[in-house]
Amino acid sequence: MSRKLVQALVALVGSLLVSVSLAQQPASSINTDAELRKSRALLKFGREDIVREEMRFSEKEAAGFWPLYDRYESELLVVRDRYADLLTSYTAAYRAGSVSAEQATQVIETYFAIQEELLEIKQKYFGKFRKVLPPRKAARFYQLENKMEVEMEYQLSQIIPLIDPV
């Protein structure tokens, strides 16, 4: 990835980390909904900027890709919001010292369900992207998406505490 892309990913992840950490603060000290909306907008803009730079679409490809991408991102956003809620509630329970065995099981089962939904959306749209992009560009798009997601997951792993085994 280019240097500019790495910088954009760092900014993107930074805004996500701010969202998660803000969501963990007492509600009286911040406007959590407004901050989360702001961070979501930054993430969307950052992702689009990275895709725009790295994909280098022709005019025809761009005309077919961007409307489809907006629908794709809208569907993903619903599931990503559930993931953010899961992380926020788990972290709050962890900090309160109240993660029960049942809650631990529920967290993992919900995580698996979220990952399945994300994969279903990605698979559904792959065929659609292949209709508007050459196969190599469609594959490159998914590689790029994967790189951005892995970077965000890595950054989240640095702040989400591991559950106590006992």
Write down the pLDDT at residue 98.
82
Residue entry with tokens 């994967």: 146
Question: CA dist 165 to 75, 100, 162, Å?
Answer: 35, 11, 9
74-105 pLDDT tens trace: 999 999 989 989 998 999 899 898 899 999 99
d(CA 113, CA 156): 19
Mean pLDDT of the chain: 83
Considering just the CA atoms, what is the radius of gyration of the chain in Å? 17
d(CA 51, CA 2): 12
122 in a structural domain: yes
Helix 59-96 vs helix 101-132: angle between axes, to the nearest 10 degrees? 180
- Does the pLDDT of residue 161 top 80, yes or no? yes
166 in a structural domain: no
Token pair for 146: 């994967």
Write down the pLDDT at residue 13.
57
165 in a structural domain: no
The domain in which residue 121 lies consists of 3-159
164 in a structural domain: no
141 in a structural domain: yes
126 in a structural domain: yes
122-145 pLDDT tens trace: 999 999 999 999 999 999 999 999
Write down the pLDDT at residue 7.
56
Token pair for 27: 């509600």
Q: How many residues does the chain have?
A: 166
Residues ≥6 apart with Cβ < 8 Å to 72: 121, 125, 128, 129
Q: How confident is the model at residue 109 (pLDDT cuts 50, 70, 90)?
A: very high
18 in a structural domain: yes
- Count of domains for the chain: 1
- Does the pLDDT of residue 21 top 60, yes or no? no
8 in a structural domain: yes
d(CA 107, CA 19): 20
